[in-house]
Amino acid sequence: MGAVVMLTSGFGPGLSPHPGPLLKGTGGARRILVMPVDEARVAALERFHAAAKTRILRVFPGQGSVQVLELSAGEPIEEALASYRASGLVRFAEPDYAVSAAGLLPSDPHFQDGTQWSLNNYGQSSGLPDADIDGPEAWDVRWSASNVVVAIVDTGVRHTHEDLAGNMWRNPADNTPGFNGLTGGHDPWDDNGHGTHLAGIIGAVGDNGLGIAGVAWRVQIMACKFLDSTGNGYNSDAISCIEFARTNGANIINLSWGGPDYSDAVSNALWFARRDGIVVVAAAGNNAANTDLIPFYPAGIRLDNIVAAGASTRLDGVWILSNYGVASVDLFAPGAAIYSTANTGDSAYVSQDGSSMASACVAGACALLRAQEPALPPAGLIGRLLAAVDKKPAFANKCASGGRLNLRRALDRPAITALPNASPFELLVTGAPQHWYVIEATTNLATWSAVQTNRTDAFGAWTFTDPPLTSQPLRFYRAGPGP
């Protein structure tokens, strides 16, 4: 939720809109919304309607008797609004604004055709609607992390791929895209495919009319290879890649690999990454095991800059082979039937399953969060991510947060401000244009209750009016993403 504001007593049903431009088009612009000052003035307001030849289309009794009015033919909307506002009979008068569905939809064909269910699940392929990370709603807030470097410590990356080349990190010294821990050189070419698949999930170039969209449309992908063509490698080579990433400006490190053996050396390498403010995202593993009992590393290393991700399905369930654990897995993210970039060609794509894919999804989310909050320490960024999950029954008692990644809720944090000298009391909520937000109230800072949910206007603002009720004690308010 957003910042907490201490306010007066009570709350009421009325809403007072933030001033915006008048709509002069057709359709919704021929209708206006008004709210009677009080019940005693309703009869007078009805006489005012009759004189103005205005017709009542609908009344919302539970919303302070807000009325939807149709204006008489030819009456300019500006004049009608001015007349109602000057009448003394309404608390507000506003156009019935035309709106459109929130959500920024990229032109990438495999997003457009619904293949990328993890970003936008509307029930395609027998999926469960909204069992996704709310990509379009999140991208309304932020889609670029162009100043954030995500190191993929894995099998390398096919850095010439049509959907990756534009987002590859380049070494200022020699323009190379990363590091090869197997050779000590700077050509991390992917001869397996795993790392290239992760790269597309994290940061395939978005809205370019090609292939897919990454969680972050713009980001810097640093390829660090230590796994060979069969997907196997040694901790020592992984450490060399982690050290390269740490000393060359990585902000996020993705580790989609692991095993049952704990390594002090790997833990130390990740501790130094923690010291330098680097967030580490690790795959929970694919053994269908409770990793509280059967650990999987490096996801199981207990450092507060590491977030461990299990894999979820298009039905908001735990993927059949994903590891889980209340103490060892932090959250779930889409990881089954994930379509992404392939290493077999510069225009190749493939679908894969696994907590590796879930980890990459979380890494992309962390990149956007880092771009939004550059000064937030790793533990704070991870805390923001975990507080924003969609809690679902399938994930209860399976991970620490009890939920699945929701990128929109992590990014879409509205501001809340008390308007000075307002009587009755008013709050200004500001966020993304035409996004839903909820105001919650409490008297004890422990138990919060929703008091109003509304959509912001075209300027991203919503004014909540709270008339004083002497029977209510002093209380606090906060705002957060709505449904």
Least confident segment among 64-68, 194-198, 243-247: 64-68
At residue 1 the predicted structure's pLDDT band, cuts being 50, 70 and 90, is low
At residue 246 the predicted structure's pLDDT band, cuts being 50, 70 and 90, is very high
Peptide bond into 374 cis (omega under 30): no
Whether residue 323 sits in one domain with residue 184: yes
Least confident segment among 20-34, 186-200, 366-380: 20-34
**Interval 320-349: pLDDT, tens:** 999 999 999 999 999 999 999 999 999 999
User: Can you give the CATH number for the domain in which 216 is found?
Assistant: 3.40.50.200
In a domain, 148, yes or no: yes
In a domain, 104, yes or no: no
Residue 260, pLDDT above cutoff 70? yes
pLDDT of residue 426: 83
Whether residue 319 sits in one domain with residue 444: no
Residue 101, pLDDT above cutoff 70? no
Whether residue 416 sits in one domain with residue 338: no
pLDDT of residue 326: 98
Whether residue 178 sits in one domain with residue 135: yes
**Interval 410-430: pLDDT, tens:** 999 998 988 887 777 788 889
Residue 449, pLDDT above cutoff 90? no
Total domains in the chain come to 3
Cα separations (Å) of 177 from 84, 161, 201? 63, 13, 18
Catalytic residues: 154, 194, 356
Picking from 342, 372, 401, the residue at the C-terminal end of a domain is 401
For residue 361, give both structure tokens: 């999804």
Residue 178, pLDDT above cutoff 70? yes
Distance (Å, rounded) from C-alpha 247 to C-alpha 250? 8
Residue 9, pLDDT above cutoff 80? no
CB 370, CB 251: distance < 8 Å? yes
Residue 303, pLDDT above cutoff 50? yes
In a domain, 406, yes or no: no
268: closest CA among 291, 235, 293? 235
Whether residue 177 sits in one domain with residue 298: yes
Residue 25, pLDDT above cutoff 60? no
Picking from 401, 431, 457, the residue at the C-terminal end of a domain is 401
Whether residue 231 sits in one domain with residue 337: yes
Picking from 73, 96, 119, the residue at the C-terminal end of a domain is 96
Whether residue 440 sits in one domain with residue 383: no
- The gap between the terminal CA atoms of the chain, to the nearest Å, is 13
Residue 439, pLDDT above cutoff 70? yes
User: Can you give the CATH number for the domain in which 30 is found?
Assistant: 3.30.70.80
3-state secondary structure 340-384: EECCCCCCCEEEECCHHHHHHHHHHHHHHHHHHCCCCCHHHHHHH
pLDDT of residue 22: 30
Whether residue 383 sits in one domain with residue 312: yes
Higher pLDDT, 28 or 212: 212
In a domain, 157, yes or no: yes
169: closest CA among 148, 153, 183? 148
Whether residue 127 sits in one domain with residue 54: no
Residue 181, pLDDT above cutoff 80? yes
In a domain, 264, yes or no: yes
Whether residue 115 sits in one domain with residue 240: yes
Q: Give the residue carrying structure tokens 């880092």.
A: 370
Q: How far is CA 2 from the centre of its chain?
A: 14
In a domain, 296, yes or no: yes
- Quote the domain boundaries for residue 84: 24-96
pLDDT of residue 38: 86
**In the chain, % of residues over pLDDT 90:** 69
Taking the complete model, does pTM exceed 0.85, yes or no?
no
Q: Per-residue pLDDT averaged across 40-54, rounded?
A: 89
Whether residue 241 sits in one domain with residue 142: yes
> What interhelical angle do 264-275 and 235-247 show, nearest 10?
10
Whether residue 208 sits in one domain with residue 90: no
**Interval 196-240: pLDDT, tens:** 999 999 999 999 999 999 999 999 999 999 999 999 999 999 999
Q: Per-residue pLDDT averaged across 54-62, rounded?
A: 86
Residue 476, pLDDT above cutoff 60? yes
Could you give the 3-state DSSP secondary structure of residue 143? coil
